[in-house]
Amino acid sequence: GLEIRLAARPEGWPTPETFEFAEVDVPEPAEGQVLVRNLVMSVDPYMRGRMSAAKSYVAPFEVGKALDGGALGEVVTSRAEGLAPGDVVVHGLGWRSHAVVDARHALKVDPQAAPLNANLGVLGMVGLTAYAGLVEMAAQKEGDVVFVSGAAGAVGAIVGQLAKLRGASRVIGSAGSADKVRYLTEELGFDAAFNYKDGPVHDQLKAAAPDGIDVYFDNVGGEHLEAAISVLNDFGRIAECGMISQYNNTEPQPGPRNMPMIVQKRLSLRGFIVTDNLHLRDRFVEEVGGWLREGRIHYTETVYDGLRKAPEAFLGMLRGENTGKTLVKIAD
């Protein structure tokens, strides 16, 4: 088997040297475990945080040890009740060709219900993040004007479409290229979109939202957050999902300069982590799964071929080379 390890903690942007490949023996499952042959894995922005030693909501990766993260694979050997060879499971031990997984950490998926990869994207943690943020954290109501940053990425693309389906009067997205802007308005049904690299976010947002915004779903932080605070209407709500513009900073950046507006406009800002919201999963799967089957939600994947491409996939995602969910195909 092959596994990918953290070679060194990155200072600033990670590089190919952050990773190392190792050939390892395929492990044997113990009682209560299964051996899984991984088929596809996810790369996610939060993994950048885990490459640093700083304490956060998930433990840091260890130097010299295999990385981990969301993956999907086929059970080869089972020593656990309820799981049999051939079953497909989602689990947390990606970045390797084979994984020994505790059965209680393996979620069996129905290969007939949806394309397999959707379990790592729109129907998995990505979709639940969009749903929890919009529905619970931002309490989106019918008629709201909703703005989402990172809109052509995995989470953002779902947020915008969900907002529209749940009755937003106007959905605005920002992304980092003209192609992505076109994708948002022409393929995903956003009412307006802009390329944040074309000019100040504040000016572009204001032009796209002449009546202000009621909800901001933040994937980016920094200048985007400041602009949103300025353009939010009274009693506006921010779902604080991520701040990817800051993940590779070596020094903490000054916050938005317009924080007094939070008081003046009675805004609320709620940070959240998807794994605290698993109680929403059934509702989410029913609602979003339904829209997906009806063809009312679209999703795109950027797939890298081969486990050895995983570092490239991760680095490409951080640079914005992806549209939609970034995945690595490990095996057929």
User: By the criterion CB under 6 A, which residues form the site for ligand NDP?
Assistant: 44-46, 129, 150, 152-156, 175-177, 180, 219-220, 241-242, 244-245, 272-274, 317, 320, 322, 326
Q: How far is the CB of 46 from ligand NDP (least distance, A)?
A: 5
- Residue with smaller CB distance to ligand NDP, 4 or 318: 318
Cβ closer to ligand NDP: 91 or 180? 180
Q: Which residues pair with 89 in a beta bridge?
A: 73, 108
State in angstroms the smallest separation of the CB of 314 from ligand NDP: 10
Q: How deeply is 266 buried, as exposed, middle or buried, from its count of CB atoms within 10 A (0-12, 13-18, 19+)?
A: exposed
| Closest to ligand NDP by CB, 97 or 174 | 174
* Residue of closest CB approach to ligand NDP: 153
In this complex, which beta carbon is closest to ligand NDP, that of residue 168 or of residue 317?
A: 317
What is the CA 313 to chain-centroid distance, rounded?
Answer: 14
Nearest to 263 by CA among 220, 229, 240, 239: 229
Q: Work out how close the CB of 124 gets to ligand NDP at its nearest, in angstroms, rounded to a whole number.
A: 10
Q: Given the DSSP bridges, would you call strands 213-218 and 145-148 parallel, antiparallel or unpaired?
A: parallel
Q: What is the DSSP string of 155-191?
A: HHHHHHHHHHHTT-SEEEEEESSHHHHHIIIIIS--S
The residue (of 83 and 192) whose beta carbon lies closer to ligand NDP is 192
- The four Cα atoms 202, 208, 211, 217 give a dihedral, to 10 degrees, of -70
CB of 213 to ligand NDP, least distance (A): 17
175: its two tokens: 């992304």
Report d(CA 254, CA 241) in Å as an integer: 19
* Contact predicate 95/42, CB 8 Å: no
Tally the residues of the chain. Answer: 332
Nearer to ligand NDP, 118 or 241 (CB): 241
Residues 6+ apart with CB under 8 A from 290: none
Give least dist CB 45 to ligand NDP, A.
4
Please give the Cα distance from 230 to 219 (Å, whole number). 17
Nearest distance from C-beta of residue 23 to ligand NDP, angstroms: 30
User: Least distance from C-beta 10 to ligand NDP, angstroms?
Assistant: 15
Q: Which is nearer to ligand NDP, 82 or 271 (CB)?
A: 271
